[in-house]
Chains A and B, each alone.
Chain A
């Protein structure tokens, strides 16, 4: 088996999320160095606060300020911080019950080592220098052996409240396409096109994905198809795609390569867009060093008879 193809794949997305009224007040509060909790029906104070009572599912809106000091309820020493985590140096993950709250908040604790951390230890918030209305406005917690801070009496009403957050996410992958597609891509780079035949229904899949979706069995018999093919159907593209250096209008077509059991997509060139037709015979045009055809152009053969490709639209 030839070596498996691999390529880096980065999935990156900024989610813009709107906030409910309780979340809005809590995150705006962090910006102003105020920590708010919310009262539940049974009289508990939840920090971080949520929009609905976790027990009764009732809407809850009664905000109360709690202290920036609190007690560690559990912890875990993280000696190798990972991307995106609150601190770049070894730290403890902690759940902290702030003074005045009945539930605990997850964050990081900046401590010299695991021997300096224990459940029940007293900590306080270290505020981020630049605060925008996000959970990261708390830079981390730090050990604190002073008195409990007295919470102010903030009611959660702010000028210029934040109503949304932008949550950035990035995940890194190494993509490998599997056996069938690896063989297909490797063959393409030598300007040949291979499909795979279903052992049951005999259909030749191009590009092959390793399975016949009709029969649910593995395909493995390699079958060279093309290079010529027939336009089975097409559309005229009139809107220029971003970062695409092709003049519009152009034709994008379904092309059934000779011997293939289904059509693949490709651009048609070398002919005015309004002369492309179903049945047009085409062949691939390769640009220097490319791993796949740049486009397909007419071969000059007579058009294919409809009956030869009517199942391949």
Chain B
């Protein structure tokens, strides 16, 4: 690796159950302007722009091209899009900066789950031959994973409830953007053993970050969050082939990102279901001394396609503020933590 690359700015919307009064670009623009404002950059100064979103969420074909209106893409800019969480857009931007083709990158992602039924929409990402025709919704698949954890003695319902309660208490204390802040009833079973309190809120939101390389990062940010390593790995798509109580892909990504070389003080985990935090803590070898999801995590706000990027942004923001020196950020995609991305961020010594 020849260049040091850092997150120098992060912004997110307030995450809400619906943003029906706004189009995607109307929802997105404030966060774009926010990160540009933090760095003093204009859109014309950005070397590379990359976004993550999915048209299936809101049912709008090519919504990402309309969202580009918010960037100021004329005269033509160097731009790319992934039909994935923005964390993977950040990965693409990181590689672009590594090549030296650009010194700065704008990465954004957004999701509007409110127009559709997200539990059903997410079935369309599954194996179309053997699985999608059965329409197993996202909560059902997470519940199969949760039951496997209970059977294996890795957790139980009170422990899962505690994960949700802690997440929303943290959001109440520290995250004004979160959708669920403070106590939320654990509620009835949605799909047993998962109760409503074990599941993420459904909502709309957007996020943006700016990456910069080398000295440029120091010019733009007092304490850049340097990306020391970043990697993503995927497991077999067949649920019955995997050990659902473990996440070898998350562990391998963490290893390749250098997460195990030195302890981290903070971890932002993209665990939309309480049971998935149990899996990730184990796979990522996070001890009790690591501050997990001080933002409240995805159980407090889960704008799909942005929630992973937000984990990286939240970890970086803690480094910017001097609240962390070395943080792990994680993003996931697919059912039951199928694909995982891990980034290790560090601040300069104080």
Contacts and interface: CB of A to CB of B under 8 A. Distances in A.
Interface of A: 1, 4, 6, 9, 11, 15, 17, 19, 23, 27, 46-48, 50, 54, 73-79, 82-86, 93-95, 97, 103-108, 114, 119, 134-136, 165, 167, 169, 171-182, 209-218
B287 to A, nearest CB: 28
A172 B117 contact: yes
A4 B20 CA distance: 7
A210 B23 contact: yes
A213 B67 CA distance: 9
Q: Chain B interface secondary structure, helix, strand, loop or mixed? A: helix
B140 interface: yes
Interface residues of B, number: 61
Contact of A180 (B23, B72, B119): B23
Contacts of B24: 178
Contact of A108 (B134, B151, B239): B134
Contacts, number: 189
Given A23-B129, A83-B135, A167-B128, A214 B240 contact: no
A46 B148 CA distance: 20
B244 A135 contact: no
A84 B239 CA distance: 20
Listed from nearest, the 6 A-B pairs whose CB atoms lie closest are A216-B72, A178-B23, A104-B240, A76-B143, A84-B135, A77-B192
Contact of A95 (B69, B134, B239): B239
8 contacts: A6-B20, A9-B115, A27-B129, A74-B144, A78-B192, A119-B148, A174-B116, A181-B23
Given A23-B129, A180-B26, A217-B29, A85 B238 contact: no
Interface centre among B72, B73, B194 (most CB of A within 10 A): B72
Given A107-B134, A209-B25, 9 more contacts: A6-B20, A54-B241, A85-B135, A93-B141, A105-B240, A171-B124, A174-B20, A209-B66, A217-B33
A54 B56 CA distance: 28
A213 B76 CA distance: 11
A298 to B, nearest CB: 33
Contacts of A15: 128
B161 interface: no
A255 B238 CA distance: 53
Contact of A73 (B134, B136, B148): B148
Contacts of A84: 120, 123, 133-135
Contact of A215 (B72, B115, B124): B72
A83 to B, nearest CB: 7
